[in-house]
Structure 1
Amino acid sequence: MIFYLTVIFGCQLAGELLKMALELPVPGPVIGMVLLFAGLVIHRGIPADFAKVGDAFLANLSLLFVPAGVGVMLHMAMIGEQGLAISVALVGSTLATISVTALIMRALSGRRNDDGISEGDVSDG
């Protein structure tokens, strides 16, 4: 299990290094996550021990929010000053996310009529 934990942190480190070396506008952990995903696709699956490490991370996910919560509390005055802008950004991004998700879902699922038959399955004759 230590090996897979090292793989996860190694991917994050590789993402940070790529971000700095190539001056990419994407956060290093996101690049690391893409690298990890590519590795799992190449491996064609998730090893059982790797899944156990991932489950352990998910079981303790709430602990990872403690630093973010502390940061919010430290900057409460600034958040108060920018409250309207933050609220507009949150509402706007939420609406955009819901809209894009709905459009993609609609495009990928195909339209269904009242009988549950796809419109492409109905013959004209």
Structure 2
Amino acid sequence: MTLGTDAKPDGIIFSAALLLCAYLIGDTLTRLLQLPVPGTVLGLAVLLGGLALRSGPTAELERVSGWLIRTLPLLFVPSAAGVMTQGRALSQFGLAMITALAVSTLATLIVTAFVFEAVQRSIQGRS
């Protein structure tokens, strides 16, 4: 996780834990009180209230949230949209897709390891 060179590890861990706690509080309240509001929305409201009382986020919280905002859409949105729109194809060809994914991932790991070793040998040879 690249959060900057001046980021404090303790502050980053605390900030990530704060975001998780806000989510869990919202989700728990939604379930216990059977509210018609998603727990994530209520968690954001809890976080907003806490930040308003504190008069803003810390630098570490800004870094962690910025990193999450930049990264999570890349990880979840395309795959979730694909699964939602291709249910029939997934049920027909799911095993073949999983096999192809596993083989291509393994091939990528192997090629990456060989390239890394070649570059490392090249760098050591120049030293």
TM-score, structure 1 normalization: 0.55
Q: Deviations over 1:38-70 (max 9, x none)?
A: 010001011101100011012213223145314
- Judged with a 3 Å threshold, the aligned counterparts in structure 2 of structure 1 residues 14 and 71 are, in CA distance, closer, same or farther, namely farther
Separation in structure 2 between the aligned mates of residue 63 and residue 29 of structure 1, nearest angstrom: 18
1:22 pairs with 2:33: yes
Q: 1:68 — aligned with what?
A: 80
- Judged with a 3 Å threshold, the aligned counterparts in structure 2 of structure 1 residues 66 and 10 are, in CA distance, closer, same or farther, namely farther
Runs of 4+ that moved beyond 3 A:
74-77
Q: Choose which of 55, 59, 80 in structure 1 pairs with 2:66.
A: 55
Structure number with higher relative contact order (C-alpha < 8 Å, ≥ 6 residues apart) = 2
Note the aligned Cα RMSD (angstroms). 1.9
Unaligned runs of 5+ in 2: 1-11, 90-127
1:3 pairs with 2:20: no
Return the letter of the residue paired with 2:22: C
Unaligned runs of 5+ in 1: 78-125
Separation in structure 2 between the aligned mates of residue 31 and residue 16 of structure 1, nearest angstrom: 7
- Judged with a 3 Å threshold, the aligned counterparts in structure 2 of structure 1 residues 71 and 31 are, in CA distance, closer, same or farther, namely farther
Q: Choose which of 39, 51, 57 in structure 2 pairs with 1:40.
A: 51
**Deviation, structure 1 residue 72:** 1.6
Separation in structure 1 between the aligned mates of residue 29 and residue 79 of structure 2, nearest angstrom: 25
- Judged with a 3 Å threshold, the aligned counterparts in structure 2 of structure 1 residues 24 and 71 are, in CA distance, closer, same or farther, namely farther
**Deviation, structure 1 residue 75:** 4.3
Separation in structure 1 between the aligned mates of residue 19 and residue 79 of structure 2, nearest angstrom: 20
